[in-house]
């Protein structure tokens, strides 16, 4: 069992699944000789050759559309879009075709494709390289949206995404790519694509997040533990379909909830979770559901990106509000 960073776990999953299933191909800009700008596809070209490792022209609509075309023929395309800010030209193809080909042909055709992309900010990257796209996709019917937050989940969820018979958007936490290493077993075992992970148990408050902000959420839970507050930490992991059962179970226990997301607040996925708690968990709540969120403004350039991204202090501020209304007894 190797100790791997998230980016290495993704690379391992790609190697492993391409070796296992000859129908898997990868495609995207600079993913061949260059191994992807983050090296997620490193070594694939040498191992699997240019027919299965396709350097595409600079055209994201084409990348999405090719993936659709390939997937209809029983190929399992795994497309990389270099940064999620460049996923927008894929949106039309994804929502008007990939998500609905099965439905509109009444099962005759389908699109088992994966589009991977680094998502969220925090690496001092240039403009448009730090966007948060998860909600835009998670609102689309017929899609699965997956956001891994640690190496083992990156590996297991990516395998699951590739094997899934329907289209999957796979958004990876750019700033955590090499942040830490953790054991990953290359056992070819997929993780479930509809299950949230309770990372840490605790009875005082439920902290919910996904993707990159899981890191800040874990740190916040550490800080709370020092204050004697036991936070239950949930990694949503798969935004769509959303595993509300796990979240509601936790809120039933804690009565308090803060949701952490990096995307702009208005219409973010935190709102979806909060709305579901408001509907199904209202009676177990001791206090309002708070959102520690990105702001409703443009993701700033590098110099101010930390102003935008929810940090531990911002999470703790929302937690404090909750305990002010509903103190721990």
Partner 1 sequence: MDPTPATTRIAQFDVCYTQFLDPQGRARGELPGFAADADEMRDMYRWLALTRAFDKKAVALQRTGRLGTYAACLGQEAIGVAIGKALRPEDIFMPAYREYAAQFLRGVPMQNILLYWGGDERGMAYPEGTPAHHDFPLSVPIGTHVPQAVGVAYAVRLRKQPRVVLASCGDGATSKGDFAEAVSSAKLWNLPLVFLVNNNQWAISVPRERQTGAQTLAQKAFAGGLPGEQVDGNDMIAVRHVLERAVERARAGGGPSLVEAITYRLHDHTTADDARRYRSEDEVKAAWERCPIKRLKAWLEGRSWWTDADEERLQAEGAARAEAAAQAFLTTPPEPPQAIFDHLYERLPSQFEWQREEVKSAGPKGDC
Ligand X SMILES: Cc1ncc(C[n+]2csc(CCOP(=O)(O)OP(=O)(O)O)c2C)c(N)n1
Rounded CA-CA distance 188/133 in Å is 28
Least separation in angstroms between residue 208's CB and ligand X is 32
Rounded CA-CA distance 288/282 in Å is 9
Q: Which is nearer to a copy of itself, 33 or 128 (CB)?
A: 128
Rounded CA-CA distance 72/69 in Å is 5
* The one among 82, 135, 150, 213 contacting ligand X by CB under 6 A: 82
Q: Which is nearer to a copy of itself, 21 or 279 (CB)?
A: 279
Rounded CA-CA distance 184/154 in Å is 9
Rounded CA-CA distance 215/177 in Å is 11
Q: Which is nearer to partner 1, 122 or 156 (CB)?
A: 122
Torsion angles phi and psi, residue 109, rounded to 5: -130, 160
Rounded CA-CA distance 46/288 in Å is 54
In the residue annotation, 129 being an active-site residue is answered as: yes
How many other CB atoms sit within 10 Å of the CB of residue 122? 21
- Applying the rule CB under 8 A, the residues between 244 and 303 that interact with a copy of itself are 263-264, 266-272, 274-280, 282, 285, 287-291, 295-298
The one catalytic residue among 15, 128, 129, 139:
129
Q: Which is nearer to ligand X, 58 or 313 (CB)?
A: 58
Joined together, the tokens standing for residue 270 give 């935190």
Residue 58 binds a copy of itself, judged by CB under 8 A: no
Work out what residue 291 binds among partner 1, a copy of itself, ligand X, none; the CB cut-off runs from 5 to 8 Å by kind: a copy of itself
Rounded CA-CA distance 139/240 in Å is 8
Joined together, the tokens standing for residue 268 give 């973010």
Residue 104 binds a copy of itself, judged by CB under 8 A: yes
Positions in the binding site for a copy of itself (CB under 8 A):
85, 88-89, 91-92, 95-96, 99-100, 103-104, 127-128, 135-136, 138-142, 240, 242, 263-264, 266-272, 274-280, 282, 285, 287-291, 295-298
Catalytic residues: 129
């Amino acid at each position: 069992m190797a100790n791997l960073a998230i980016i290495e776990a993704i690379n391992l999953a790609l190697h492993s699944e391409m070796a296992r299933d000859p129908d898997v191909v990868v495609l995207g800009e600079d993913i061949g000789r260059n191994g992807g700008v983050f090296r997620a596809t490193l070594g694939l070209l040498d191992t699997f050759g240019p027919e299965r490792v396709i350097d595409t022209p600079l055209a994201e609509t084409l990348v999405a559309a090719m993936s659709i075309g390939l997937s209809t023929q029983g190929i399992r395309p795994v497309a990389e879009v270099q940064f999620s800010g460049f996923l927008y030209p894929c949106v039309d193809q994804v929502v008007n075709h990939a998500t609905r080909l099965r439905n509109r042909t009444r099962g005759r055709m389908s699109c088992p494709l994966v589009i991977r992309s680094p998502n969220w900010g925090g690496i001092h990257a240039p403009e448009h390289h730090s966007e948060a796209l998860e909600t835009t996709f998670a609102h689309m019917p017929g899609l699965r949206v997956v956001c891994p937050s640690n190496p083992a989940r990156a590996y297991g969820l990516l395998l699951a995404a590739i094997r899934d018979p329907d289209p999957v958007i796979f958004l990876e936490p750019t700033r955590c790519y090499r942040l830490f290493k953790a054991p990953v077993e290359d056992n070819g075992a997929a993780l479930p694509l509809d299950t949230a992970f309770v990372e840490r148990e605790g009875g005082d408050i439920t902290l919910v997040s996904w993707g990159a902000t899981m890191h800040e959420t874990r740190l916040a839970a550490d800080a709370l533990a020092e204050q004697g507050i036991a936070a239950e930490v949930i990694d949503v992991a798969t935004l769509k379909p959303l595993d509300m059962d796990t979240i509601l179970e936790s809120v039933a226990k804690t009565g308090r909830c803060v949701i952490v997301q990096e995307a702009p607040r208005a219409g973010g996925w935190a709102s979806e979770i909060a709305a579901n708690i408001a509907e199904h968990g209202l009676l177990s709540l001791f206090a309002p559901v708070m959102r520690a969120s990105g702001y409703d403004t443009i993701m700033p350039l590098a110099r101010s990106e930390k102003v935008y991204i929810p940090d531990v202090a911002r999470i703790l501020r929302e937690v404090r509000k909750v305990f002010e209304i509903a103190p721990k007894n």
